[in-house]
Structure formats: structure tokens, C-alpha cells
Amino acid sequence: MKLKINEMFISIQGESSFSGFPFFFIRTSGCNLRCKYCDTKYAYEDGEFIEISEIIENVKSSQLKNVLITGGEPLIQENIYFLIDSLINNKFNVLIETNGSVLVDKINKNAIKIIDIKTPSSGECTKNNFKNFNYINFNDEIKFVISNYEDFKWSINVIEKYKIYNLVKNISLSPVYNLLSPKKLANWILEKKLNYVRLHLQLHKIIGLK
């Protein structure tokens, strides 16, 4: 049983509430979206098929307990669920990043889902599958990547419409790196007195890691 993998590496987790912890990263190949601000376009096609047993051995050899599966879009490969189950059965802490267009209902309940809701500036906001809010746990996380004030207003409307603050404990707003000033986004959050979101910066980019 194989998965098409773009890369595997060790780094500091730069996103989510786990930001700052050492992680083993598994980046799958292929994506069903083409976001305008995508920073991993190299994962659209490049990669090789690797046996899941070999992936597990690579994770074990890292001596790390935290694993992030990202992409591309991991959920477009059916065998991804077997990898997630296998990692959890081997006592690893598993996070999976998904772009929100694919239903997350088949993901192991012990994995933490990080769903990236696509904002209008991404060019892909019509692809969001809001049915995913029916399949998330309180420990899962929701992320909005913000390019401008229109993205910000749209995101707040989505959060309030679906009452996402009642569904998960972490909702992050993240400025597009080198496009929107973090200070500007912080001020918008403060002006609106938003108690239910957190400003998030991509730590790995700030410190110059992959």
C-alpha cells in the first residue's frame, strides 16, 4: 500500500496551537485547489510513491512523537486514512492539515484536524465544504488565511454564521506572509473585540525554517 509523497522532514511546527513543537512532517503530493497565495506549489505534481510501511519506519527513526500530515491536499489519496490509523496505532500524535474542500468524516477520531477555510482572495472560497463542521471535534482547529479586510470580514461572517466558536477551541486568523501586515490584522481583531479568534503567524517562516 503506497502514497505519493512530496517530501518528509523534521522541523519546528509553525502553525496551529502546536506552533513551536518539533514535528515530523509528511507532505503528500497533489492538490485539488489552486489558491492564489499557495506557498507549496511544488507539491502539486512532484513526488514519488512510497510504501506506507516505509513512511512509518521514517517516522519512527526520527525519534519524535508528533507527526503532521500536510500537502498539497492529503485527503485526495484514499490510502491516507490507512497511514493515519497506522500512525495512531503506533502511539504517535497525529495532526492532519486539509483545505476544507474534502469531507473529513473518515479521519480517525484520535487525529487532530486542522481545516483551512478558503477566503475570497484565495480564488477558491466556493470550494469550501461547510458540511465539515458536522464532523469536527472540539480539539480540532479552524484556520483562515487573510489577505485583506474583505477576507477578514468574510471570515468573521462565516465564524458567526456557523458558530464555529462553539465547535472548536482554536480558531486562527493568519495574515498571508509578506502581503498583509500582522499588525494590521491584529488591530482589526482588537477593533472588533473578537474574543473567539487568535492571531497566528507562521513561526517557521519567521525563523527561516522549512
Report how far apart, in Å, the C-alpha atoms of 42 and of each of 1, 38, 80, 210 are. 24, 10, 20, 13
Quote the percentage of the chain above a pLDDT of 70: 100
User: pLDDT digit string (tens) for 3-36?
Assistant: 999 999 999 999 999 999 999 999 999 999 999 9
Q: Where are the beta strands (DSSP E) in 13-65?
A: 22-28, 48-51
Give the pLDDT band of residue 202 (cuts 50, 70, 90): confident
Rounded-to-integer distance, Cα 86 and Cα 56, Å: 8
pLDDT at 210: 76
> Hey, what's the cell of 129?
465544504
pLDDT-derived band at 75, boundaries 50, 70, 90: very high
Distance separating alpha carbons of residues 177 and 180, to the nearest angstrom: 7
* Fold that domain 2-206 belongs to in CATH: TIM Barrel (3.20.20)
Give CA–CA dist 10/75, Å, rounded: 22
**What pTM, to 2 d.p., does this model score?**
0.95
Does the pLDDT of residue 158 top 80, yes or no?
Answer: yes
Element spanning 182, H or E: helix 182-191
Mean pLDDT of 47-66: 98
User: What are the beta bridge partners of residue 48?
Assistant: 5
**Beta bridge partner(s), residue 142:** 115, 171
What residues form DSSP beta bridges with 119?
Answer: none
CA distance 73 to 19: 20
Examine the pLDDT at 203 and tell me if it is beyond 90: no
Count the alpha carbons within 13 Å of 137 in the hemisphere toward its beta carbon: 12
Q: Where are the domains of the chain?
A: 2-206
DSSP 134: G
Q: Are strands 93-98 and 170-175 parallel, antiparallel or unpaired?
A: unpaired
pLDDT of residue 205: 82
